[in-house]
Amino acid sequence: MIAVLTASYVQAQVNFGVRAGLNYSNKIFFVPAGAASMSTEMKPGFQAGIIAESNTTDITSFMQSGLLFVSQECKFKDGSLLGYSNETLNMTYLRLPLNYVYKKDLSGIKLLLQGGINLDFALSCKINGEKRGEKIEEKVDFGNTMMSRIESGVGVGAGLQFGNFQAVLEYNFGYNWGKSDSKIMMFNNGPAFNISYLFGK
């Protein structure tokens, strides 16, 4: 499927643009052995970057985000990673989304329906918490934890296009490719709202 979409992308005309938006992320740490799993509460984050869109017909297009910087934050509600109270997890990523978008013209306004995959590379991970009333911040060393810098997932969304502007509400679900010997799996999911502007349309 990716090969077919990539071939269509190469042959079609490409329009570049910029994108910015807000997200809410929730991370679930699941222990298959039966120990208590840890879940989090969503907190707001943001994403911004460049995109490229190639039109294949008048109602469909293949969209590929060249590069997005994504910041996500969540608060632990069941358990903690380091044993502190009021722990929050802050992560930043570089994201490469690959989406197929269906467009339907509605008298000058276009309805957008999209679905695809995401590939994320974690740039940083910080855990903030409290211990005996003292605020603590620790940077996570990916080489010494069960978490990996690599995450992949799927996303679906819907929105509207007004001229060169697109407004899309999407939902993403991802999986962190932790160490092969790790017994803990981390899932990442949550909604996001993006506004994009395409040049040259």
Look at residue 84 and tell me if it is in a domain. Answer: yes
**How do beta strands 165-176 and 185-198 pair?**
antiparallel
Look at residue 183 and tell me if it is in a domain. Answer: no
Query: If you average pLDDT over residues 173-186, what whole number do you get?
Result: 77
Number of domains in the chain: 1
Look at residue 78 and tell me if it is in a domain. Answer: yes
Its pTM stands at: 0.83
CB contact at 8 A, 64 and 114: no
Look at residue 75 and tell me if it is in a domain. Answer: yes
* pLDDT classification of 117: cutoffs 50, 70, 90: very high
* pLDDT classification of 32: cutoffs 50, 70, 90: low
Q: What's the domain range around 81?
A: 23-29+36-91
Look at residue 82 and tell me if it is in a domain. Answer: yes
Please provide residue 6's backbone torsions phi and psi, each rounded to the nearest 5 degrees. -65, -40
